Structure 1
């Protein structure tokens, strides 16, 4: 707890400042819980939500009192918020105080539900001793920082550094409106000052600015500065833990007269002597119906006394409490008295049968707590009484007086109870913020999932489209390969075979001329070897990259072989640029040229052929002209080869006759 407090409080000019992190509902936290939700993971938020839900299940419930009773302190009214009001508690001796609790006045708003009324927007807490009348500031509070989302109805818990003080003052420097008349005022239901677990402000003298007598007469009996320290808070102790217990209820008081006594006694033996410092009486429960039922003539008696002694016959009895009911006290769920430390073993509560108690009145309490050293030493000890329970076998047994439980479960120490109420408010304020952030994260995830779904659908469509395009490309490539194989087989092997055929004819004619025959046979061998290379190229072009390494030389050799009986002219321009062509293009150009010559030999009957080949870095052009029979149609084999080259082919008929074929290839 101290580590957490150190995070939410810091020194400012020697003053303990209560910044935005102080919640009106928490002793050591704030409305926002100082959590930057946007920096937490979704798993972290869900874990925090589970922790909050688990913790809320173990905290006291916020249950409000009903009926009438003391409300608290109300200051003078003002027409502006900047007026200053104050209250001062005289502790009558020096205590080491470490916590101050302010419980607000609660107003029932018909639109907003229960809200605080006239709780100061700004105040500071001062404390000192009799020798230090000015004191020093222990803490300052600013509602705009402490409760930016609005105040709750839980107590304001202010932990402070342990400070020796005999008086504590609350100075309200900025007031808020009270609801019923829209004037500015300073209202508090209860002010508790803790030294450890003890409320040292209980029933101590209270100082406050004087109020006009006319105003005091108009104030309800429910308002008094003494009610600021009477121990009465606007909440019911509903711990929500432990088993419930039904309050003790006696038989009517007229049963005493039959026993010739007029006083009812409730005695307890604590087993040893304890320094009793505080006595708490818990009233019997009211019905849980709406409206609540009230047991007339039953409950806390209007007058009684409590004595302590060390002798069982109370011969040394000391009066600890002498109580007479006030107008506003009848509905208080817990009545508290601080008593001077008195060592007692035996305690007796006496109720005299007098004119204020009707004959049919039934005495009833939910619990009697005897506090010594901040512990309830009566817990588990059994009271005895001279007046029997309402029914002997009833659940309203006298054992209920010291079982540590009420109708809602376990009875908690006052400071623990108020801290739990404050923590519950803080967690209930934090919880919807976490839920909203989780909802936002889920919405983001849903949006992201929707986007991812669309992206996945797009990716699947893209994959399908890619597969389809790839398939079409492969089909096209297969068609191109098939076409190229057909073209290569036709242009290369066909031309080579035709050349071999021509060489065979020449060899037959030269059978009597040995030297010429040997040359022809050598040519035939070269063509056979070339055909083998071409065949390998058709199956794997990478194995035939040595083809057409020198395109001009290959064209010249082919021209000599095929045009041996025809007069031809071969012109080259740009040999260097031809050499920069890719191997595949060089082979395609070579095969185009060879097929052009084969077509001339087979079909044109030409006697003269002119070839002009030019190359640059941007284009390559072949112009092949013969004086044969002439044609305007592009031979299919040449058109196919041009298509493989992605080149443009045209034919023309010169004036002097014959055919001119032009191939234009753009370099990329």
Structure 2
């Protein structure tokens, strides 16, 4: 029901007990702290237990209206002039549906509270409530603090009515009005007047019903142990007598009904233990020889009974009190058609002096003859407990019910906000979890890819180093090997042997220079800082015995190549000349280099017999390998007039980012 109340009140309702910080600005920790504090306080407050399953008076009901706005409707309670601390308005309740349950019915959405002194008709407006106070919907009473102002009457003036659930017509209804001066309800059984007389036949809706003490609640303080036992005496003249142990000035009597039960339906009638004629006497002598009548009340119908029967009486000093059903003659004089219980029994009896229950833990007089189990049972009449637990002062009870309403409404707003924030937090944690998993996977993938790249790079370095050794030193070592084998055949010819050894020495010197050159190129910050000069120098050394032409167009673009590309281009160029010099048997060589911002074209043509006897277009493996390093296209063709022509197309790729591989 609290959640339904919150939904009806609206998420942005101005609840009086809400923390100063708006809910939509509070953090999770602040909301959790507020929720826990509300729950802790709720555990200490009286519970809203409704009085169902028993007949009783309902209160006051006005004439139905067709529109909510109303003027001239009022309900007034007159009493002795007192300092008023607060006024409590108890709503009439109606069962709406299974989800919402009981809610106030006909309680005004806007109203004024007016108070005045004798002779004042207008009075003073002491409290104004409207829709901004968000009093509705509710089940609990509304507490109107007045701060001790002196008055002899109060008037409730509705200005905006609500619909009655039964027929959806606008109406003004109240179950009870309580006016507290200290702990005393000074409006109890006082005169009530209204703006218009509403004739009703059933008697449960009358103006004076709002001060009879009957309310739609059962006192359930949520504290103390349950005590369902009560005292009953069955005889011709049943009575209950208590010794207050000293004289007190008694001004208020509360009798808690013995019919209350936790079974459904209730085990007992609402009038259980209450005679139709109730008499309460006080005395200072144990034999009641000086008895004074404190209360004499004739019940006219079963509808007059309530869970707590309350009366204010003229202050009377006495030590002994006796509750009885009257003498035989008094019973015979009863003209009421209602016949009460033949027994007397209550869950608790309270006699108040100055706001204090002086009957608490008091028992029967000495010499009454009540002993043993009967005395123990009688003691439960004054143990301060009812069937639900500890009995509260009426004012405290009303205040706790009102406070519970405010806290439950606030809690019903805090919990959805917390659920919303928990949902966001859960989504954030889920996202963080997914990002963490993705990050772990990314790190693992990075490690694996990095390892793979390092292995691949190592393999490429190994392959490139092998190729560089082959291109720089391989030919010289191959020639040294051939010459070394040849010396075995000319060992008997000193001249030829000396010539062969000289060539071996020259080849060894050349291989040594090639090795130093290779090392210097790998150690240098910039390989082939002047590529064209290196190309010309290599051509002049390797094909010096041939007739050749060396043509270059776009020389400036050559040096824009990256160091690695320059090195690979140089080795490709050198390998081409080695193949021409070694295998082509050519006499003329034409070298053409054309470079621009996008491509570099290399063409080396000779007039020899071609490169070995292989299928046309087949590129030697050493050239194909270098072309692959350059990511270039290489082809070999045989011109119509013979010889061979090697062509390389190298794209000049601009490097915006460092190369990873």
TM-score, normalised to structure 2, is 0.80
Describe the superposition over 1:274-319 as per-residue Cα deviations: whole angstroms up to 9, x where unpaired. 4433221222234443332336995123334445566767677654
1:86 deviation in Å?
A: 0.7
Distance 1:337 1:270 in 2: 22
Q: Which residue of 2 aligns with 1:564?
A: 544
Q: Which residue of 1 aligns with 2:606?
A: 626
Q: 1:152 aligns with which of 138, 145, 157?
A: 138
Q: 1:667 aligns with which of 644, 652, 655?
A: 652
1:369 deviation in Å?
A: 1.4
Distance 2:596 2:479 in 1: 31
Describe the superposition over 1:452-501 as per-residue Cα deviations: whole angstroms up to 9, x where unpaired. 66666666666666566556544543443333122211112225657999
1:602 deviation in Å?
A: 0.7
- 1:249 to 2:249 alignment: no
Q: 2:125 aligns with which of 113, 137, 142?
A: 137
- 1:352 to 2:326 alignment: yes
1:93 deviation in Å?
A: 0.6
Contact 2:88 2:178 in 1 (8 A): yes
1:371 deviation in Å?
A: 1.9
1:435 deviation in Å?
A: 4.9
Contact 1:280 1:337 in 2 (8 A): yes
Please provide the CA RMSD for this pair: 4.1
Written as runs of structure 1 = structure 2, the 5 A alignment for 1:434-473 is: 434-437=414-417, 439-440=419-420, 470=450, 473=453
1:270 deviation in Å?
A: 4.3
**What is the DSSP-based 3-state SS (H/G/I as helix, E as strand, rest coil) of the residue aligned with 1:299?**
coil
Q: Are residues 137 and 658 of structure 1, via their aligned partners in 2, closer, same or farther at CA, if it must alter by over 3 Å?
A: same
Q: Which residue of 2 aligns with 1:124?
A: 112
Q: Which residue of 2 aligns with 1:224?
A: 206
Q: 2:14 aligns with which of 10, 21, 29?
A: 21
Q: 1:194 aligns with which of 180, 205, 212?
A: 180
Gaps of at least 5 residues in structure 1 are: 1-18, 23-27, 257-262, 506-510, 512-516
Q: Which residue of 1 aligns with 2:161?
A: 175
Q: 2:69 aligns with which of 76, 82, 85?
A: 82
Q: Are residues 555 and 336 of structure 1, via their aligned partners in 2, closer, same or farther at CA, if it must alter by over 3 Å?
A: same
Written as runs of structure 1 = structure 2, the 5 A alignment for 1:118-517 is: 118-130=106-118, 133-143=121-131, 146-147=134-135, 151-180=137-166, 182-211=168-197, 216=199, 218-254=200-236, 264=239, 266-271=241-246, 273-294=247-268, 299-308=273-282, 318-328=292-302, 331-349=305-323, 351-355=325-329, 356=331, 361-384=342-365, 392-394=372-374, 397-431=377-411, 433-437=413-417, 439-440=419-420, 470=450, 473-474=453-454, 476-495=456-475
Q: Are residues 279 and 478 of structure 1, via their aligned partners in 2, closer, same or farther at CA, if it must alter by over 3 Å?
A: same
Describe the superposition over 1:70-100 as per-residue Cα deviations: whole angstroms up to 9, x where unpaired. 22122233343323321112232141x3322
Q: Which residue of 2 aligns with 1:5?
A: none
Q: Which residue of 1 aligns with 2:582?
A: 602
Q: Which residue of 2 aligns with 1:646?
A: 631
Distance 1:401 1:143 in 2: 44
1:191 deviation in Å?
A: 0.6
Contact 1:94 1:129 in 2 (8 A): no
Q: Which residue of 1 aligns with 2:492?
A: none
Q: 2:529 aligns with which of 549, 552, 558?
A: 549
Contact 1:246 1:407 in 2 (8 A): yes
Distance 1:345 1:62 in 2: 36
Distance 1:359 1:232 in 2: 18
Contact 2:109 2:160 in 1 (8 A): yes
1:234 deviation in Å?
A: 1.6
Q: Are residues 293 and 653 of structure 1, via their aligned partners in 2, closer, same or farther at CA, if it must alter by over 3 Å?
A: closer
Q: Which residue of 2 aligns with 1:102?
A: 89
Q: How many residues align?
A: 614
Q: Are residues 303 and 34 of structure 1, via their aligned partners in 2, closer, same or farther at CA, if it must alter by over 3 Å?
A: farther
Distance 2:449 2:540 in 1: 46
Describe the superposition over 1:419-445 as per-residue Cα deviations: whole angstroms up to 9, x where unpaired. 222333444445555554555556556
Contact 1:116 1:153 in 2 (8 A): yes
Q: Are residues 395 and 38 of structure 1, via their aligned partners in 2, closer, same or farther at CA, if it must alter by over 3 Å?
A: farther
Contact 2:476 2:508 in 1 (8 A): no
Describe the superposition over 1:40-91 as per-residue Cα deviations: whole angstroms up to 9, x where unpaired. 5555555555555544444323223343332212223334332332111223
Gaps of at least 5 residues in structure 2 are: 1-11, 333-338, 487-494, 496-500, 654-661
Distance 1:466 1:360 in 2: 91
TM-score, normalised to structure 1, is 0.79
Contact 1:499 1:561 in 2 (8 A): no
Distance 2:152 2:279 in 1: 29
Distance 1:652 1:165 in 2: 124
Q: Are residues 565 and 446 of structure 1, via their aligned partners in 2, closer, same or farther at CA, if it must alter by over 3 Å?
A: same
Distance 2:114 2:304 in 1: 34
